[in-house]
Amino acid sequence: MEIHETAVPDAYRVVPRHHTDARGSFFESYAYDELARRTGHVFVPLQVNYSVSARNTLRGLHGVRLPPGQAKFVSCVRGALLDVVVDLRLGSPAFGAYATHRLDAREGTAVYVAEGLGHGFVALTDDACVSYLCSTRFVPGTQIDIQPLDPALGLPWHLGLTDEPLISEKDARAPSLAEAADQGLLATYDACRELYERQLRAAGATGPAAPPVPAAPPPPAAPSAQALAKASRTRR
C-alpha cells in the first residue's frame, strides 16, 4: 500500500494495491505495522462504526476531546464521498488547515485521522456507507462538534454538493471554531504530540511490530498400518 502525507500534519492518505483476476479483486486496506513504521502513529482499532448517508448529506466536523482522544481510519465501503480533515489543535503550525480527498468503494482509498484533528464528509452518492475504525470506545460527553459551515474555516463543501446540504440539528447548532476554543474543547498541539509519542514508547523503543501470528497447529499424525488396512477393507 501507499501512504501519503497530506496538508494536515498527522493525517495520511492510504492507497491500497489491488490484485485483480477473472473473479474480481482483492486488496489490503489497513496494516498495523506498515502504518506505524511509515507514519510514527500506533493505531489499534477498538471499535468499528458505520454510517449510511443520502446524497448531499454533510456530517461533521467531529472529533473527540483529550482525554481520551480518538484516532480514526476512514474509508468508503459503498458509494463515494468528499472527505475533509481539519487541524483543530491549538498551537499547531497548521491550525485551521484542511485536506480534502475523494474516497470511493471501488478504489478503497482511506484516510488516517490522528487524535486532535477534526473530520467530516459530504456524500457524493445515495446510500453512501462509511467505515470508521476507531482507536477508543465511545465515551459519552467527549465528542467535539464544530459548525461545518463556519466562515472562519472556509471549507470547500461546495465541491461535493449539488443541492443544499443535509445537516443534523446537532451539527447545525454546533459552536464555531473560535467558540469551541473559548469553551476549552480543543486539544493543544503539544498535548497531542505527547500522546503520539507516549503511544509509540508504549509499543516499544524500536517502534511497534506486527501483532504475533498464532502458531500453526501440529500436522496430523500419519495413519497406522492397521488403520490403512481397515480403510482398504471398507472400500471393498
Enumerate the active-site residues.
Answer: 62, 132
CA distances, 37 to each of 3, 31, 143 (Å)? 11, 10, 29
CA distances, 211 to each of 1, 32, 196 (Å)? 19, 8, 19
Using an 8 Å Cβ cutoff, are 160 and 125 in contact? no
> Which residue's entry shows cell 489491488?
18
Does an H or E element contain 233, and which?
Answer: helix 225-235
Contacts of 186 (CB under 8 A, 6+ apart): 88, 89, 90, 116, 144, 180
Q: CA 95, CA 234: separation in Å to the nearest integer?
A: 77
